[in-house]
Amino acid sequence: MRSTRGSTLNRLLPVIVLFVVFAVGLAFPLSNFFVVRKTVVDVSNNRDFAPVAKILQSSCVDCHSVTPGLIAHPYYASFPIARDTIARDMLEGQKSFKLTQDQVSGKEPISNIDLAKISTVVEEGSMPPIRYKALHWDASLNQQQRAAILKYIVSRRN
């Protein structure tokens, strides 16, 4: 009796382990759909900027802003490997350029220098970094979002 039960467990063990690994793995990206982030309302009165305000909040502010409410910390932010990666990304990201809350809301314009940098990374498709997109499934820029950012940048040149 005992040996039968034992072998059933032995056969099921790999399946159970796979399931647990799968569930734990999925918990990381799925949790990011539930993190709370302050929503900044667009006050620019500029139709070209309106979509950009949303994209910056869904895809960029975590690493390129220092305003506490704008940054959403995932629950795994204190886990050993994640902690260092996240801290380094935020530090390096903020060194490259910073978005204030007033810039995200459109109250203050983003500088031309920063717009030029943004234009480059959007055309390259290099932002957000892949490691971030792997865990933030709604952060990748789709074709429309990229077009919206570039359209706004072109409109600022006129």
In the complex, minimum distance from the CB of residue 130 to ligand HEC, in angstroms, rounded to a whole number: 9
Angle at 31 between CA 27 and CA 37, to 5 degrees: 165
Determine contact, residues 144/54, Cβ cutoff 8 Å: no
Q: Write out the binding residues for ligand HEC, residues 46-85 only, by CB under 6 A.
A: 59-60, 62-64
Question: Whose Cβ is closer to ligand HEC: residue 6's or residue 138's?
Answer: 138
Does 29 help bind ligand HEC (rule: CB under 6 A)? no
Residue 127 is a binding residue for ligand HEC (CB under 6 A) = yes
Place of tokens 């009796």: 1
Q: Contact between 28 and ligand HEC (CB under 6 A)? A: no
Residue among 55, 50, 41 at smallest CA distance from 155? 50
Least distance (Å) between residue 43 CB and ligand HEC:
20
Contact 100, 67 (CB under 8 A): yes
Conformational region of residue 125, where left means phi above 0, alpha means psi within -120 to 50, and beta covers everything else: left
- Among 28, 46, 67, 89, the residue binding ligand HEC under the rule CB under 6 A is 89
φ/ψ of 97, rounded to 5, equals -170, 155
Binding site for ligand HEC (CB under 6 A): 59-60, 62-64, 89, 92-93, 96-97, 117-118, 121, 127-129, 132, 141
